[in-house]
Amino acid sequence: MVRKGFKMFLYPGMEEEYEKRHNQLWPEMRDMIHEYGGHNYSIYLDRETHVLYGYLEVEDEERWAASADTAINRKWWDFMADIMETNPDNSPVCVDLSPVFHLD
C-alpha cells in the first residue's frame, strides 16, 4: 500500500455541509474508491484555518490516478465545488503532503 497525505481548502462556514455530504457519500462513489484501490480514507478539518487534511492508502498510484477520469468522480467534484476551493475543472485544489514520519 502507498500512503498518501494531502490538503484541500474549505470555504468558511461550509464545515457542517462538507461533513453532511461525506456522511451521505453516494454508494457508487464509495464503490469507485474501492474499485480503484483506495482504502483507509480519512479527512480531517482544521476549523481555525478551514484546511482539510486527507489520508488515503492506495494499492497502485497509476490506478488511483485513473479514478479522477471516472464519471462518478467528476459528478462528485461538481457536487462539492460550491463549498471548497476548486480548479477550473471543479477538481479540488489539492496539495500533496510529504511524509516525514510513520510508525506501525
Quick one: DSSP state of residue 90? Answer: S
The question of whether 102 is a catalytic residue gets the answer no
* Rounded Cα gap, residues 72 and 70, in angstroms: 6
Lookup result for grid cell 490506478: 63
* Rounded Cα gap, residues 32 and 57, in angstroms: 14
* Rounded Cα gap, residues 56 and 93, in angstroms: 17
- Catalytic residue set: 22
